[in-house]
Structure 1
């Protein structure tokens, strides 16, 4: 049977290397005489590729938040908006009715951006009308009620040389409502939270490519500041903080209706795949014939998956992610990390980092493939952007096997 199986491998295009380079990192190398090894190298197993939309991702209280809107013909529109609470900087605040309001300024610290940094960027600010709560059903598509009256509407030109903190002069109505309210609302943050639910930040940027701003709301520079003066002309400044005690959420909205990817969601054998952060798209990879290796008497010494990506004319504006994530998926669509390869072997071994010289991503998954063959684990994998809700990068991957540049599972076997 072994000879027949070996012959089948050869006839289906598998290439045999006898006495090939002896790699010391092969599993089991130290206990087998390398001079007696017969090594089989396979790299053309069939690969099925499909795409699925991400869902049920939490974007609650992430380290940074995203605001803006971008478009490209491959992925369509992506829009990010922010809900955030604010906090008193001290208890028992007294906004005396005799105070005269000068201005209200919302400061937002820019951590980074994704998209066209030379595009005009519009920002809207509204008051949230319900508590921003986190529960098991709060995901990245969560919305909260907000007042339709704008506290701010304005356009900004964001460039790499711009100030790293945006300052928005809000309508004084917000300060007036504070002065005219009962002082018990400012006794402590619990009372204040019930009185003032928070702010909603949005953008309807309609420039050609658009821009997403990554905001560091936890920076001391991100705050709401009210400026007053009294009858004797003394200036009074009060800061409302945005800190780790504040509930914050980035709402991600993806519209694929005017994009190339829209027609591909029902296709389970794609030549190109799509991977998109911002709670967007994942690619699913399956090796349907990998189970033929079972009972072959070959030992899996090493397994690598090579995922080529395609360069586009928008890469300078929308660069691909610096690394990808890889997880197993079962028939019920439940995800599980490749613990043996990723955690036990370590992140350097597991890899997944972009290789710009070869236009690909590589993962070492030897232990996972061994588990698939020996223990009938699912051969389906999900490729995704790690920490998707704080990473809007996207990439198109290549699975054109007729040109020998598609996704490859490289197997090094021995007996």
Structure 2
């Protein structure tokens, strides 16, 4: 090495020795190639990490509705109960001589989550008030509306994957009452408005451990009836569909007490050291991740003489909290910059799962480019409290895919890998 490069090497080494005394900064690797000097700094670990739980999941705008009761060691307990209004598929006046045979609720599967083997009872209740939206046309998952506590249908069920639906027989007395009001000139089956004057809808519940099952808007109530004098073969059917109704939403009762979270508060930043070293992102639990850089001055000192060419945040998934069947990890996350109140400032895009290792569960992780966030923080006042935010993307239905993230070992830990180049 020529003397001038040796002196430059020693000078930069001495300079960086003073900059990297903090345990969160590793010693830099120095690579020389001719007249090019390349400095690399790895593993910035001075991070403050939090889980934030939000109760405000809007569920009336989703294309599906969800039923089920699930409990596990990682999330806690989830109880999903749909509230459904029904509408007329076509204007109908039932013949006066018509005789009702049976009435069924047909629920078409969209998808299901967790173990489908256990059987479970489904209770069906009559909704007693119309579903009211707020000024933004939203109904949130924590809301509920009045319903009759006496079931009008109860049935033992099991999800059978090769079938396309669940079918529940409704009470004959309740069904007959509605059916009779569908006769004559004042038939409640003339329009959805006429129907909802008498019949507000249904509420479904299960208290047994079961999968979480999402159903489509094509689900319907079917009235099977016949005309005694009619020579045509077979029964007639009158359908009231969810799709033609005025609204629907899924109510969620969630107990977040689990192996990692004990009595977690919503709308609070929960530090990682209060959740057994885990942070969480999950749609159904309302969980997102906040990351702060408490000692940004460490990077500021380096930035006076060096240029950050790349920065990536590594987030390993905690072993034994995921698999491809019952606890599938979310494959894409959204990345934001938020202020101290967790209000969105800037969108930094999305990131996909970088590595998948289901067999040994040692190298499943996200590697999220965050140079834009580092540059943003370096350009702010040293006391700026803006942070990085990681959340699950919105979807057309309720999804149970999520992330349990934690450091695993010295090799697989939560960190930021940063690459520096000298300015001169």
- Please indicate the TM-score interval, normalised by the length of the shorter structure: 0.7 to 0.9
Residue 15, structure 1, aligned to residue 16, structure 2 = no
Alignment match of 2:375 (pick from 370, 373, 391): 370
SS of the residue aligned with 1:51? strand
1:199 shift after superposition:
1.4
Residue 114, structure 1, aligned to residue 113, structure 2 = yes
1:118 shift after superposition:
0.9
1:258 shift after superposition:
5.6
Aligned-partner Cα distance in 2 for 1:122–1:38: 65
Which string of whole-angstrom CA distances, capped at 9 and with x for unpartnered residues, describes residues 87-135 of structure 1?
10123x2134432111111111112111111111321211111111222
Alpha-carbon distance change, 35 to 250 in structure 1, aligned in 2, over 3 angstroms: farther
Q: CA RMSD in A?
A: 2.9
Unaligned regions of 5+ residues in structure 2, if any? 1-11, 358-362
Give the equivalent residue in structure 2 for 1:54: 54
1:239 shift after superposition:
1.3
SS of the residue aligned with 1:15? coil
SS of the residue aligned with 1:254? strand
Aligned-partner Cα distance in 1 for 2:83–2:192: 18
1:62 shift after superposition:
0.2
Paired residues for 1:123-272 under 5 Å: 123-135=122-134, 136=136, 138-160=139-161, 162-181=162-181, 183=186, 185-206=188-209, 210-217=210-217, 219=218, 222-233=219-230, 235-243=235-243, 246-257=246-257, 259-262=259-262, 268-270=271-273, 271-272=277-278
Give the equivalent residue in structure 2 for 1:26: none
Residue 408, structure 1, aligned to residue 408, structure 2 = no
Give the equivalent residue in structure 1 for 2:320: 312
Alpha-carbon distance change, 269 to 144 in structure 1, aligned in 2, over 3 angstroms: same
Alpha-carbon distance change, 244 to 292 in structure 1, aligned in 2, over 3 angstroms: farther
Aligned-partner Cα distance in 1 for 2:111–2:174: 29
Aligned-partner Cα distance in 2 for 1:356–1:309: 10
Give the equivalent residue in structure 1 for 2:295: 289
Q: Which has the higher helix share?
A: 1
Alpha-carbon distance change, 320 to 232 in structure 1, aligned in 2, over 3 angstroms: same
Q: Which moved more, 1:365-374 or 1:306-315?
A: 306-315
SS of the residue aligned with 1:186? coil
Residue 327, structure 1, aligned to residue 336, structure 2 = yes
Q: Which moved more, 1:75-84 or 1:45-54?
A: 45-54
Paired residues for 1:59-98 under 5 Å: 59-91=59-91, 93-98=92-97
Mapped contact 2:105–2:170 kept (Cα < 8 A)? yes
Alpha-carbon distance change, 43 to 178 in structure 1, aligned in 2, over 3 angstroms: same
Alpha-carbon distance change, 43 to 260 in structure 1, aligned in 2, over 3 angstroms: closer
Q: How many residues align?
A: 384
Aligned-partner Cα distance in 1 for 2:32–2:157: 61
SS of the residue aligned with 2:211? strand
SS of the residue aligned with 1:324? strand
SS of the residue aligned with 1:194? helix
SS of the residue aligned with 1:113? strand
1:78 shift after superposition:
0.7
Return the index of the structure with the highest Cα Rg: 2
Aligned-partner Cα distance in 2 for 1:247–1:123: 21
SS of the residue aligned with 1:239? strand
Which string of whole-angstrom CA distances, capped at 9 and with x for unpartnered residues, describes residues 334-366 of structure 1?
13452xx31xxxxxxx42325213211122122
Aligned-partner Cα distance in 1 for 2:352–2:244: 31
Which string of whole-angstrom CA distances, capped at 9 and with x for unpartnered residues, describes residues 42-98 of structure 1?
32231222222122221113022211011112222111111111110123x213443
Aligned-partner Cα distance in 1 for 2:322–2:378: 40
